[in-house]
Chain A
Amino acid sequence: MLAVQVLINALVLGCLYACIAIGFSLVWGVLNVINLIHGSFIVLGAYLAWGAYQWAHISPWYALLFAAPLFFGFGYLLQRLLLNRVISAPVLVTLTLTFGLDLILNNAMIYYFKADYRKLTLSPPTGSISLFDVVVPVDRLIATASALALTGLLYLLLRRSKVGRAIVAVRLDRDAAVLMGVDVKSIYAVAFGLGAALAGCAGVLMALIFPISPLTSSAYLGKAFVVCVLGGLGSVSGALAGGLLLALVEGIGSVYLGPAHATTLSFVLLIVFLVARPQGLLGRKGFE
């Protein structure tokens, strides 16, 4: 039974990890920017859900609806006004720029919300389902379903819509996309906005499960890194595969080695993957 429980936990957690990483992966794949502000976006989304519930009694499910456009606008403007200026500069410059942005956002959150851990507690609590000996909390289950739904939405957007096709085109070959009449600068901004919106929504879902504090942003960012590298960059299915693999390894690792070593294990896995298979589980070589 323990094995089944570990497996179910990994499945639930893996979808959430995928949701954390997918926006990050999109920005990295399309813009070739490592977006260090991603973790703080997630925490900001969590605070949004927490604040909406605490002050206006808006359920987190509805918070998703206004978190997405809000974060999209924020991300779009950030890219348009700041990042597009240095987008063609070397890795170091864009990375350091997003680091600076992250310092500002994180400091602002510590300033306004303090570094205390908060928890969004739904009342009445949703309880948990137990089937034989396997226990799954309902709020986690709903969060996972929402995460999957968000992932599916992004997949459809990239597949079916005109903007989505343009984003994929820019990711595959920027110069050819320009020749086909795609406005690369605005596609960059849309992609960054989408990444931010996904981060915000992931944050809303995280608020249901994990405690909220500005200090957790680097942990989210670390997960996003690992998932991206494990699964392969910029693809929806890659993020899902990476998230599930990471959750599985962490789950098995904490059962057999103890939870203290789970993070170490995930980063060791990251380094092994980077060295042995930098294109990720589902990525194709020469595609990054």
Chain B
Amino acid sequence: MTRANFALLILIVIVASLPLFGGAYALRVGTLACMYAIFALSWNVVGGFAGYPSFATAASFGLGAYVTGILLNNGVPLPAALAGTFIALFLGAVALGAVLLRLRGHYFAIASLSLVEVFRELINNATDLTGGGMGLNIPLASSSGILADAMFFFYAMWGLLVLTALVVIVVSVSKLGFGLSCIRQNETAANMVGLNTTLYKSIAFGLSACFVGTAGGLYAAWVHYIDPSDVFDILYSVKPIVMALMGGLGSPLGVVCGAFLYLGLEEVVWRNYIQIHSGVLGVLIIVLLLFLPHGLISLRWAMVWRKVKHA
């Protein structure tokens, strides 16, 4: 285990102590922080390790939310519904990935972007099953009080984050991770030396979908009401990319730091400039891309490097 991965786990453990410091608001922000970190870590598998610009996060999130929501409405208990969502999303994404990942660059970006549109429209039109544009109501899981509920969902989301982080760390040090970084550097060469690139990419795509989908399921159970324009919001696809660019592409620790930083900024901007919050977000994105193209993590390494040189 490298030092950065160790630091990542410590950071996540620190997040778990959040309920000690505040009430319902801290729990809500904490749950969102864990959700965003799951997004960023998952996106990083396909976007950071394999270097494929995926915009499919919102599709996984929305599908996961709907699969879990429908299962819950049919009387399936929450843990089973989440497990079902996890497996369904993984298998579905592996199959889709095998087809879509033959595309590269811009073309892959657009195909993954249109996945979001396709699934949103499908769910919008399958009114009998999903409620269509009216949305889907999800029954309350328990009646043990608001704060207990918030606590439960915070720890559920946190647990999922821990699982995601462990899997991503294992992937990053395994043969799979090595293969993915070969694909990022030169896919044709990786293919030439006998790497089954299609298989590797599909698995990466599956891994990037299943955790996000399960997070979507938890989100659905948490907010009790979902509708297509909410859970298939294209911003869910873009946010993880911004987080990764903020924190440092490819590094699990970097993207999680980016996710937390992004959430902090979002909360501040949202609270103070409600009318122009997305504009402020746009300015932030541009400033970041122009002045800090390699993310926060590069800042730190650059400083360390300077110190070493001076010593």
Contact = CB atoms under 8 A, between A and B. Distances in A.
Q: Is the interface of A mostly helix, strand, loop or mixed?
A: helix
Nearest to A270: B114
Interface string A24-41: 000010001010000000
Given A89-B293, A96-B238, A271-B114, A103 B125 contact: no
B interface: dominant SS: helix
Contacts, number: 113
Given A93-B289, A278-B103, A106 B121 contact: no
B245 to A, nearest CB: 7
A43 B245 CA distance: 29
Interface string A84-123: 0110011111011101111110111001000000000000
B234 to A, nearest CB: 7
Nearest to B133: A260
A274 interface: yes
B149 interface: no
B110 A225 contact: yes
Contacts of A69: none
Contact of B111 (A85, A91, A99, A271): A271
Q: Which of A32, A91, A222, A275 has the most CB of B within 10 A?
A: A91
Contact of A86 (B121, B122, B282, B290): B290
B283 interface: yes
Interface in B32-79: 47, 53
A34 B285 contact: no
A210 interface: no
Nearest to A94: B289
A261 B106 CA distance: 26
Interface string B281-302: 1111110011001000000000
Given A103-B281, A218-B234, A275 B110 contact: no
A104 B124 CA distance: 28
A90 B47 CA distance: 12
Interface residues of A, number: 41
Count chain B CB atoms within 10 A of each CB in A92, A107, A226 and give the residue with the most. A92
B106 A34 contact: yes
Contacts of B114: 222, 225-226, 267, 270-271
Nearest to A278: B107
Given A34-B109, A275-B100, A267 B117 contact: yes
B129 interface: no
What is the size category of the interface that chain B forms with chain A? 35 or more
B118 A91 contact: no
Interface string A70-96: 000000000000100110011111011
21 contacts: A32-B106, A89-B293, A91-B53, A92-B47, A92-B241, A96-B242, A99-B238, A99-B282, A99-B285, A102-B282, A103-B281, A103-B285, A104-B283, A106-B278, A107-B276, A107-B278, A111-B279, A229-B110, A271-B111, A271-B114, A275-B99
Contacts of A268: 118
Contacts of A93: 245, 289, 293
A85 B293 CA distance: 11
